[in-house]
Structure 1
Amino acid sequence: MGYIRDRWRDPARHGKGKRWQVKIRVDGRERDGGTYDVKAIAKRRLTELEAAGQRGQWVDLTDRTTVAEAARAYIATRPYKAGTLERTLGYVRNHVEGTDLGARRLTAVRPSDVQAWVTDRAAHMAPSTLRALVKFVRSVFRAAVDDHRIARSPFVRIALPRHEQDRVVPLTVEQVRALADAVVVRHRALIITQAGIGLRIGELLALRAQDVDFVRRTVRVEHQIDRRSRERVPPKTPRSRRTVPLPTVVAEALAEHLAAHPAAPDGLIFHTAEGRPLLQEFVSRDVFGPGVRRAGLPDGTTSHDLRHHYASVLLAAGESVLAVAERLGHEDATLVLTTYGHLMPDSEDRTRKAVDGAWSALPEPLPADAPAAQALPG
């Protein structure tokens, strides 16, 4: 499986160099196990490498691949959508390449190197973005372990800055109404529709007349508009394909909108004068921005706050977490709990009634002075 080669050279002619070279065959290929001054050390290293090869844990310590190179290779193998790909490449360009960690060889990275990198990056980015970056780079090292390029990942016990996520403060019905009244008449239905069925902005802009069933009072979410290409593409996740109930307030707003502004030839409800999908940047800049200011809503209010409003209305009405997650198109219902848990109605009264109801169903206890025979069955 392996052998040691004598690389003795005449120092006067070739200069000094380590003499004993270890070679090992792994996966049908001959690999370099390093060179050593002492033959006994070379033999011990050969034994270690052979044992690691038999366990499937052999690592080529001479591999010169850097962390930045491994990150780009990792991205190239992943089926990222366009938006995710651009964001992930940005992580590599801005936060891996050009750093000490990015320039290090994969096989030479220690946990202390990772911690130093995380601490440095924490000074340049928001805590939530830092966590996403760390998750990505951790995945790069995990893939390197799976490919037997490193023995173990250096991402162990890494301390991240403390991050308290801001609690969602949803818009009230009055605030949503004020926003709808503050935008151009043509875009009022857009505001009411997102607040009333909780679509993502891309899903909202892809909504077609044939997706709305006014008779059965449902809306089918089948597509979203890509924010860059403006093409109709599949929604964010498989769970995002869903059917949501159509409230009367939304049905009336859509009917009024379609009467004044007929759907585009392909059925698109919200479109430009040429029948093309609206740009997300246009909606944010020219619809929500001016509307938020005129309505006196908090700075930073975006279309996503209408989605928060929708979730808060459902929770306040007693909808289950699973139902809310399904309506929002979330893959994981726990995301609803972590994001909106503080908005759920107080359950103290329900707890008291549950216990009292269970106990009230039991037979009344016998009086203390009841005859003993009465207390026995039969």
Structure 2
Amino acid sequence: MPYVRRRVLSDGRIRHLALYRDPTGRVRSAGTFTSDREARQAARRAESSVETGSWFDRTSGQTSFRDYVEQTWWPSRHLELTTKQCYRSYLDRHFLPFFGDLPMAKVLPSTVQAWVTKAVAGGLSARSVVKYHVMLHSIFKRAVRDRIIPYNPCAETELPKVVSRKLPTLTPEEFDRLLSAVPARWGGLVLTAIETGVRWGELIALRPRHVDFLRRTISVEETIVELSKKNSPTGERMVVKPYPKNNEPRTIRVGQDLLNVLAARVQHLGLSRDDLLFPSTEIAGGSPVSRNTFRTRVWLPALEKAQLGHHVRMHDLRHAHASWLLAGGADLKTVMDRMGHSQIQTTQKYLHTLPEADDRALAAFHRTRGRQHGTT
């Protein structure tokens, strides 16, 4: 309940201190006034803001962006290792240099808009600006919830428009050309990637015990995350996680041809059931291969040799896998399960991505229209 405390100053003047309790029960001042009536009104307004949830701590609002992020927001993040590493990079490269020394209460919508303008002028892509803004929004959203600031300055930022580019999907013919350009020692890895559609970290984490040669399946049970040493909880660059993305192990059916390739690899290298199938060196018990090492030493030279006419990332084999399945008639739920997607909307984006998909759609249109006119 709000109340007023009467104070007599040294010169005999009387002042009235408006007091109320914040959401934690701590007694706070709503200001000092010359009349009891003004003080009571101020105390009631402050108490009302507590009751309606609009109260915020003006003193805490003087905390700098850097201190709030480092001491409150960042320690509370429970993120995947790779996501946490990305967030740390965004903070250090984009947000702390711009907002770091500003008091939280001094960050206005115009301040956030100025950051966007500067980022775009500095060459940051529209897609990246939008992505980073999501993180910035979450920082200030938490500050509002903590009653540090009264509103989120990111709420109505004008962001650059992201123009989606339709990238070509690797066709089976193009894949065969690319595979023939890949060194033989890495052929099994590339074949496994296209036939299973697994993510890079899941691919390099595969071991012989994950391959069931009798049931013709591969189990995705682990993933290997590549981190910078300063962001690694163990100080190691390659961290093995017991579960893949979304914490959902999955089992994928594969063909006998791929199983024969993997069986030959296990026998040739003398791999035990717990060794990596595709280590960085051709020896049993080898360490995981780095994504960047594979890209620069194997993938890019193979692309140059294959002369496909467009750039293809290793990750695009995953996209091709889903597109080929759907183009061949596989149902969305099956493809979703193979890909390890948590939402079917993610899988739907691979519909009709092969070049001939639109031709088949047009042919279906003409077949239907032809029946109306009695033609074929």
Residue in 2 aligned with 1:166?
Answer: 165
Report deviation, 1:104.
3.3
Q: Does 1:61 align with 2:58?
A: yes
State the Cα deviation string for residues 62-115 of structure 1 (Å, max 9, x = none).
22123333333212111123322221122222222232x444333343333322
CA change 1:155–1:20 in 2 (3 A) is farther
Q: CA RMSD in A?
A: 3.0
Output the CA distance in 2 between the equivalents of 1:7 and 1:341: 75
Q: 1:193-208 to 2 correspondence within 5 Å? A: 193-208=192-207
| Consecutive unaligned residues in structure 2, runs of 5 or more | 228-236, 372-376
CA change 1:294–1:204 in 2 (3 A) is same
Output the CA distance in 1 between the equivalents of 2:65 and 2:243: 33
Q: Does 1:307 align with 2:318?
A: yes
Report deviation, 1:207.
0.7
Report deviation, 1:293.
1.7
TM-score, normalised with respect to structure 1? 0.81
TM-score, normalised with respect to structure 2? 0.81
Equivalent position to 1:116, from 90, 114, 118:
114
| Consecutive unaligned residues in structure 1, runs of 5 or more | 12-18, 358-378
Report deviation, 1:251.
2.0
Residue in 1 aligned with 2:265?
Answer: 257
CA change 1:266–1:236 in 2 (3 A) is closer
State the Cα deviation string for residues 258-280 of structure 1 (Å, max 9, x = none).
23223246232112225222222
Residue in 1 aligned with 2:374?
Answer: none
Q: Does 1:93 align with 2:86?
A: no
Output the CA distance in 1 between the equivalents of 2:55 and 2:308: 60
Residue in 2 aligned with 1:46?
Answer: 43
Report deviation, 1:223.
0.5
Larger deviation: 328-337 or 207-216? 328-337
Residue in 2 aligned with 1:2?
Answer: 2
Q: How many residue pairs align between the two structures? A: 348
Output the CA distance in 2 between the equivalents of 1:342 and 1:169: 11
State the Cα deviation string for residues 169-223 of structure 1 (Å, max 9, x = none).
1212222222222222111111111011111111111111111112211111000
> Per the alignment, in what secondary structure is the counterpart of residue 33 of structure 1?
strand
The percentage of aligned residue pairs carrying the same residue is: 29
Output the CA distance in 2 between the equivalents of 1:89 and 1:233: 20
State the Cα deviation string for residues 139-186 of structure 1 (Å, max 9, x = none).
112222222333332333322111112213121222222222222211
Q: Does 1:290 align with 2:263?
A: no
Output the CA distance in 2 between the equivalents of 1:9 and 1:89: 52
Larger deviation: 115-124 or 138-147? 115-124
Residue in 2 aligned with 1:371?
Answer: none
CA change 1:213–1:265 in 2 (3 A) is closer
Report deviation, 1:231.
3.4
Contact 2:325 2:335 in 1 (8 A): yes
Contact 2:216 2:254 in 1 (8 A): yes
Residue in 2 aligned with 1:140?
Answer: 139
Output the CA distance in 2 between the equivalents of 1:159 and 1:325: 34
Output the CA distance in 2 between the equivalents of 1:113 and 1:37: 37
CA change 1:90–1:35 in 2 (3 A) is farther
Output the CA distance in 2 between the equivalents of 1:302 and 1:227: 18
State the Cα deviation string for residues 240-273 of structure 1 (Å, max 9, x = none).
4211111234223223322322324623211222
Residue in 1 aligned with 2:129?
Answer: 130
Output the CA distance in 2 between the equivalents of 1:330 and 1:33: 52
Output the CA distance in 1 between the equivalents of 2:41 and 2:363: 71
CA change 1:67–1:355 in 2 (3 A) is farther
Q: Does 1:343 align with 2:353?
A: yes
Residue in 1 aligned with 2:287?
Answer: 276
> Per the alignment, in what secondary structure is the counterpart of residue 150 of structure 2?
coil
Residue in 2 aligned with 1:105?
Answer: 103
Residue in 2 aligned with 1:25?
Answer: 21
> Per the alignment, in what secondary structure is the counterpart of residue 19 of structure 2?
strand
CA change 1:32–1:105 in 2 (3 A) is farther
Q: Which has the larger radius of gyration?
A: 1
Residue in 2 aligned with 1:369?
Answer: none
Output the CA distance in 1 between the equivalents of 2:367 and 2:7: 85
Aligned amino acid, residue 183 of structure 1: V
Residue in 2 aligned with 1:243?
Answer: 251
Residue in 2 aligned with 1:376?
Answer: none
Report deviation, 1:36.
6.2
Q: 1:203-242 to 2 correspondence within 5 Å? A: 203-228=202-227, 229-238=237-246, 240-242=248-250
Contact 1:31 1:60 in 2 (8 A): no
